[in-house]
Amino acid sequence: MRDETRFYIAGAWVAPLGSDVLDVINPATEKPAGRIALGTSADVDRAVAAAKLAFTGYSLWSVEDRIALLERIGEVYKARMPDLAAAVTEEMGAPAKFRSGPRPGPAMASWPRPLRR
């Protein structure tokens, strides 16, 4: 069972400020597939403050550096596709044969396009 009870904020995995969690139920088995933390408004405020601070530096990046970052994100996303597919399959209760299909990659459908001009 997956335990995703931390948030990624300001470059680190941090505990939520609240203690509420939610079991994610696999509809095929009706058993818990994982647990997620339910964020509070204070968690949102903390994440927004971190994003604003990060944007201060990011906004100064060149187009080339931003493209390089997006390309790296795409590489990591593609490398993690089996993990993402397994999670989506388990959370949706879908048969394992769907793991190799287009799910969860619709966002990646256009990613191979060259980003560089």
pLDDT of residue 19: 95
pLDDT of residue 101: 55
> 44-70 burial, b for 16+ CB within 10 Å, e for fewer?
eebbeebeeeeeeeeeeeeeeeeeeee
For 89, residues 6+ apart whose C-beta sits below 8 A from its C-beta are 95, 96, 98, 99, 103
> What does the pLDDT profile of the chain (117 residues) look like in tens digits?
888 999 999 999 999 999 999 999 988 889 998 999 999 999 999 999 999 999 999 999 999 999 999 999 989 988 998 888 888 888 888 776 666 555 555 555 555 566 665
pLDDT of residue 94: 76
pLDDT of residue 100: 58
What is this structure's pTM? 0.74
Token duo for residue 84:
């993402």
Question: Are the CB atoms for 35 and 22 separated by under 8 Å?
Answer: yes
Which H or E run contains 48?
helix 41-58
For 63-87, the three-class secondary structure string (H helix, E strand, C coil) is HHHHHHHHHHHHHHHHHCHHHHHHH
pLDDT of residue 90: 83
Q: Is the peptide bond before 114 cis (omega within 30 degrees of 0)?
A: no
